[in-house]
C-alpha cells in the first residue's frame, strides 16, 4: 500500500495507475486519449458492474474490520464508486463505515491505517494553523467535522486514532445527505492522550504525551476556528464530534453565536429523540407538555434532549418555568435536586426542590414520569420492575433506551413490550428486530438514530449559506422527521421512517431549513433561489462518472454490455 500523502478529494478521481477499477469504465476514446488502450481488457464495465464486483468481494469477507478496510481503500481509489456502493444499500453499509465497526477500526487505527485522510493539527502547531490549511488542496470547503478524540463513541479516549470518526461521519454527510465529498474536511486536533494503552502502542499515530489542557488548549481551538473561517468563509459549517462532556458544552456555548457550528452528540441526538417523542404523541393522543420526562443520565445527550423538549413544550404554549418543572434528571449520584453536591451549570437548570434520592426504581415510583429516557450507557438500567411501574402509571408509557451499543441499552425492545403488556412506546439507539407479541401482533421498535438528522441539517445549512445554527434548526428538523413518518402505512410501533428513505428525508429537512433561513434572514446565498427544492437537488453530489471526453465514440452496444 502507498504511504505517500495521497489526497483523494478531486471531483473527478481518475487514476490511470489503478486501471483495474475505475479504469474498466473508461470508454474507448478515453482509453485512447490516456494512452491506456490495450493496458485494459477489452470489456467495458459500467458503474453498476463495478458495484457488483465490490459487493461480491464484500460478501466474501468474514470480518467487519476487513469489510471496513475494503470500503476505505475503495474510498481512496474511486470515490464515486465508493458512494455508489454505499447508496446501493445504506442499511447494510452504515454499520461498517460508521458505528459500530468504525469504533473497532478506531481502536486499531494503527493497523487499519493505510493512507492519511483529513487534516491532522497538533497542539504544537499553534501559530501555524492558517498555513496548514493552505496545504489542503481544495479551496472550497463547506463542512468540517472536528474531534480531539477524547470521548470516541462509548470507547473513551482514543487520541489520534479517533480520526476514523470525522472521516466516517463525513462519508455519511455524502452518502445520506448528498454533500459533495470534496467540499468536506475531516480534522483531528491532537492534543495528546491520557490513554496509557495508546501511549505504549508501537503503532500509535498521534502525539505521545498526556493531553494538554487549559489555556493552551483553548488557544488552539480559538486559532482553529479563526483560521477556518478566514480561509473558507464565515458560513463554513464546523461540526464538533466526540469531545469530552465538559469541553463539548463549553465550546458549543462559546462558539454557537459566533460561528456556523453544532455538536451532533448534543443537538443531533436531541433532534432525533424529540422527533420520536412527537411521533409517540400520536399514540398517547395528548400534548408533549402533558408529559413528565425523566432522564436516566445527565450528560451531553440527556441535556441536549432536555433543552429541546423544553423548547417544544414552550412552543405548545407552556411557560418556561412550568416546562422545566416537567423535566427531571438522574445522574450517577441520583436524582438531580436543588442543593445537591456536584451539579454543573447545565444540570442546575433542571434541579428541582425535592429530597435526594438514589435508586432509579424508587425515583420512578416517586416522580411518576410518563416518559423515561435512558442515555447513561448503563445496560439494563430499566429493570422489569421499572417497566411494570411505568405501565401501571400510564396507559402508554414512553420508554426510550437510547444508549449504544445494544449491550448498553437500558432495556431491550422485547423487555419493554413484555413488561408493559405491549402498551409501551419504545425507541432505542441501537437497532432491535421487530417483536411479535403473544397476541400475534408485530411491533417495530423505533431507532432514534442521529443519521436521520445531521446529513439533512448539513445539506440545508450549506445550501443556503446559513451563518449560525440556532436551536430552532433542531426543533424544525425533528418536526420534518416526524412528518415524514406518515408516508408509511404500517405504523405498528414505528416512530421513525425506515432508514432506506434517508436520502429523501435529508432533502426534505434541507428544504425546510432553507425556507426558514430565508424567512428569518439567516441565509447568505443570494439571490434567493425561486424553487428551493430544485436548487437543493441541483447541489446534491452525483455518483455518476463525468466523462472528460466531450464527444466519445464507442464500440458497438453489444460488445460493451455486461449481464448481471
Ligand atoms: C444508526 O443506524 C445504522 C444502520 O442501522 C447503524 O449502523 C448505526 O449503528 C446506528 N447508530 C447508532 C448510534 O446506533
Ligand atoms: C484506550 O485505547 C484502547 C485502544 O484503542 C481502547 O480500547 C480503550 O477503550 C481506551 N481506554 C480508555 C480508558 O479510554
Tens of pLDDT, residues 526-537? 999 999 999 999
Percent of the chain with pLDDT over 70: 92
The count of other CB atoms within 10 Å of the CB of residue 103 is 20
In angstroms, what is the span from residue 220 Cα to ligand 2's centroid? 24
Tell me the per-residue pLDDT of 465-506, one tens digit each, with 9 for 90 and over.
999 999 999 999 999 999 887 665 556 778 888 888 899 999
Q: Please report, for residues 25, 228, 431, 542, the alpha-carbon distance to residue 87 in angstroms, rounded to integers and kept in the order given.
A: 19, 30, 19, 11
Question: Annotated catalytic, 169?
Answer: yes
Nearest CA to ligand 1 atom 2: 449
Does the structure show a pLDDT above 80 at 455? yes
Q: How many residues does the chain have?
A: 564
Whether residue 107 has its Cβ less than 6 Å from ligand 2: yes
Q: Give the CA diameter of the chain.
A: 82
Cell matching residue 196: 496509557
Q: Quick check: 453 and 475 in contact, CB under 8 A? A: no
Residue by residue, what is the 3-state secondary structure of 204-257?
Answer: CCCCCCCCCCCHHHHHHHHHHHHHHHHHHCCCCEEEECCCCHHHHHHHHHHHCC
The count of other CB atoms within 10 Å of the CB of residue 378 is 16
Q: Report the C-alpha gap between 396 and 256 in whole angstroms.
A: 37
Residue by residue, what is the 3-state secondary structure of 375-442?
Answer: CCCCCCCCCHHHHHHHHHHCCCCEEEECCCCHHHCCCCHHHHHHHCCCCCEEEECCCCCCEECCCCCE
Does the structure show a pLDDT above 90 at 318? yes
Which among 16, 5, 8, 6 is positioned nearest to 182, based on CA atoms? 8
> Which element (helix H / strand E) includes 469?
none
Band of the pLDDT at 556, cuts 50, 70, 90?
A: low
Q: Report the C-alpha gap between 32 and 25 in whole angstroms.
A: 13
Q: Please give the number of the atom of ligand 1 that sits closest to the Cα of 431.
A: 5
DSSP assignment letter at 85: H
Q: Report the C-alpha gap between 18 and 40 in whole angstroms.
A: 10
The number of CA neighbours under 13 Å toward the Cβ of 505 is 32
Whether residue 379 has its Cβ less than 6 Å from ligand 1: no
**Prediction pTM value:** 0.89
Q: Report the C-alpha gap between 168 and 106 in whole angstroms.
A: 10
Share the mean pLDDT of the chain: 90
Question: Annotated catalytic, 553?
Answer: no
Q: Report the C-alpha gap between 248 and 68 in whole angstroms.
A: 28
Residue found by looking up cell 481503500 in the block = 73
Phi, psi of 447 (to 5 degrees): -115, 105
Does the structure show a pLDDT above 90 at 20? no
Considering every ligand atom, which ligand is closest to the CA of 154?
A: 2
Considering every ligand atom, which ligand is closest to the CA of 151?
A: 2
Q: Quick check: 432 and 413 in contact, CB under 8 A? A: yes
Q: Residue 384's pLDDT is what? A: 98
Catalytic-role residue among 84, 169, 408, 508: 169
Q: Residue 262's pLDDT is what? A: 97
Catalytic-role residue among 98, 259, 419, 545: 98
Which residue positions form the known binding site? 151, 241-242, 265, 404, 449
Q: Residue 290, Cα to own-chain centre: how many angstroms?
A: 30
In angstroms, what is the span from residue 202 Cα to ligand 2's centroid? 14
Considering Cα of 444, then 450, then 453, then 459, what sign does the dihedral take? negative
Pairing status of strand 442-443 against strand 435-436 = antiparallel
Does the structure show a pLDDT above 90 at 220? yes
Tell me the mean pLDDT in the region 314-330.
97
Q: Residue 229, Cα to own-chain centre: how many angstroms?
A: 23
Q: Residue 431's pLDDT is what? A: 85
In angstroms, what is the span from residue 422 Cα to ligand 1's centroid? 25
Q: Report the C-alpha gap between 551 and 548 in whole angstroms.
A: 9
Q: Is 551 exposed, middle or buried (0-12, 13-18, 19+ CB in 10 A)?
A: exposed
Band of the pLDDT at 71, cuts 50, 70, 90?
A: very high
Q: Quick check: 327 and 293 in contact, CB under 8 A? A: yes
Whether residue 102 has its Cβ less than 6 Å from ligand 1: no
- Of 2-11, 320-329, 351-360, 417-426, the range with the lowest mean pLDDT is 2-11
DSSP assignment letter at 316: T
Tell me the mean pLDDT in the region 333-361.
94
Packed helices 532-539 and 502-519: angle between N→C axes, nearest 10 degrees: 130
Tell me the per-residue pLDDT of 118-165, one tens digit each, with 9 for 90 and over.
999 999 999 999 999 999 999 999 999 999 999 998 789 999 999 999
Whether residue 91 has its Cβ less than 6 Å from ligand 1: yes
Q: Quick check: 459 and 525 in contact, CB under 8 A? A: no
Beta bridge partners of 328: 294
Q: Report the C-alpha gap between 150 and 251 in whole angstroms.
A: 14
Does the structure show a pLDDT above 60 at 253? yes
Cell matching residue 73: 481503500
Distance, first Cα to last Cα, the chain: 31
Band of the pLDDT at 405, cuts 50, 70, 90?
A: confident
Whether residue 195 has its Cβ less than 6 Å from ligand 2: yes
Whether residue 498 has its Cβ less than 6 Å from ligand 1: no
- Of 319-323, 325-329, 343-347, the range with the lowest mean pLDDT is 343-347
Beta bridge partners of 247: none
Cell matching residue 412: 431491550
Tell me the per-residue pLDDT of 157-210, one tens digit each, with 9 for 90 and over.
999 999 999 999 999 999 999 999 999 999 999 999 999 999 999 999 999 999
Band of the pLDDT at 34, cuts 50, 70, 90?
A: confident
Residue found by looking up cell 424567512 in the block = 519
Q: Residue 341's pLDDT is what? A: 87
**What is the arrangement of strands in the sheet containing 237-240, beginning at the earlier edge strand?**
119-122, 184-190, 143-147, 237-240, 261-263
Amino acid at each position: 500500500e502507498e504511504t505517500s500523502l495521497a489526497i483523494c478529494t478531486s471531483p473527478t478521481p481518475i487514476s490511470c495507475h489503478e486501471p483495474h477499477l475505475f479504469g474498466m469504465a473508461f470508454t474507448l476514446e478515453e482509453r485512447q486519449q490516456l494512452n491506456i488502450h490495450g493496458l485494459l481488457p477489452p470489456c467495458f464495465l459500467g458503474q453498476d458492474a463495478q458495484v457488483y464486483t465490490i459487493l461480491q468481494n464484500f460478501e466474501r469477507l468474514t470480518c467487519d474490520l476487513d469489510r471496513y478496510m475494503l470500503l476505505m481503500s475503495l474510498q481512496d481509489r474511486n470515490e464515486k464508486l465508493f458512494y455508489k456502493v454505499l447508496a446501493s444499500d445504506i442499511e447494510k453499509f452504515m454499520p461498517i463505515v460508521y458505528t459500530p465497526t468504525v469504533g473497532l477500526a478506531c481502536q486499531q487505527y494503527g493497523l487499519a491505517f493505510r493512507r492519511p485522510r483529513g487534516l491532522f493539527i497538533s497542539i504544537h502547531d499553534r501559530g501555524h494553523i492558517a498555513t496548514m490549511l493552505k496545504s489542503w488542496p481544495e479551496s472550497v470547503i463547506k463542512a468540517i467535522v472536528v474531534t480531539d478524540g477524547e470521548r470516541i463513541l462509548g470507547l473513551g479516549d482514543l487520541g489520534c486514532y479517533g480520526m476514523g470518526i470525522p472521516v466516517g461521519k463525513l462519508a455519511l454527510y455524502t452518502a445520506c445527505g448528498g454533500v459533495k465529498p470534496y467540499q468536506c474536511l475531516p480534522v483531528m486536533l491532537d492534543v495528546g492522550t491520557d490513554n496509557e494503552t495508546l501511549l505504549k502502542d508501537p503503532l500509535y499515530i498521534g502525539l505521545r504525551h498526556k493531553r494538554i489542557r487549559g489555556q493552551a488548549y483553548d488557544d488552539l481551538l480559538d486559532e482553529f476556528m479563526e483560521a477556518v473561517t478566514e480561509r473558507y468563509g464565515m458560513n463554513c459549517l464546523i461540526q464538533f464530534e466526540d469531545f469530552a462532556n465538559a469541553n463539548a458544552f463549553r465550546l458549543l456555548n462559546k462558539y454557537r453565536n459566533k460561528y456556523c457550528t453544532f455538536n451532533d452528540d448534543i443537538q443531533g441526538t436531541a433532534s432525533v429523540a424529540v422527533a420520536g417523542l412527537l411521533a409517540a404523541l400520536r399514540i398517547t393522543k395528548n400534548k408533549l407538555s402533558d408529559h413528565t420526562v425523566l432522564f436516566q443520565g445527565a450528560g451531553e445527550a440527556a441535556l441536549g434532549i432536555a433543552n429541546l423538549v423544553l423548547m417544544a413544550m414552550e412552543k405548545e404554549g407552556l411557560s418556561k418555568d412550568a416546562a422545566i418543572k416537567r423535566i427531571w434528571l438522574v445522574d450517577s449520584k441520583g436524582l438531580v435536586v436543588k442543593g445537591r453536591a456536584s451539579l454543573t451549570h447545565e444540570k442546575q437548570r433542571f434541579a428541582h426542590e425535592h429530597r435526594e434520592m438514589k435508586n432509579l426504581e424508587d425515583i420512578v415510583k416517586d416522580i411518576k414520569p410518563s416518559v423515561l429516557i435512558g442515555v447513561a450507557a448503563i445496560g439494563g438500567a430499566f429493570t422489569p420492575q421499572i417497566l411494570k411501574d411505568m405501565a401501571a402509571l400510564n396507559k402508554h408509557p414512553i420508554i426510550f433506551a437510547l444508549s449504544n451499543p445494544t449491550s448498553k441499552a437500558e432495556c431491550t425492545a422485547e423487555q419493554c413490550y413484555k413488561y408493559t403488556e405491549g402498551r409501551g412506546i419504545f425507541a432505542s439507539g441501537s437497532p432491535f428486530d421487530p417483536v411479535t407479541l403473544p397476541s400475534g401482533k408485530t411491533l417495530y421498535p423505533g431507532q432514534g438514530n442521529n443519521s436521520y438528522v445531521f446529513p439533512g441539517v448539513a445539506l440545508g445549512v450549506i445550501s443556503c449559506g446559513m451563518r449560525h445554527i440556532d436551536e430552532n434548526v433542531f426543533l424544525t428538523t425533528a418536526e420534518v422527521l416526524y412528518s415524514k413518518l406518515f408516508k408509511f402505512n404500517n405504523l405498528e410501533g414505528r416512530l421513525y421512517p425506515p432508514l432506506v428513505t434517508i436520502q429523501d428525508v435529508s432533502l426534505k429537512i434541507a428544504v425546510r431549513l432553507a425556507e426558514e433561513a430565508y424567512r428569518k434572514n439567516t441565509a447568505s446565498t443570494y439571490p434567493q433561489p425561486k424553487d428551493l427544492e430544485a436548487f437543493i437537488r441541483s447541489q446534491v453530489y452525483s455518483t455518476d462518472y463525468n466523462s472528460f471526453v466531450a464527444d466519445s465514440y464507442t464500440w458497438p452496444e453489444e460488445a460493451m454490455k455486461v449481464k448481471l
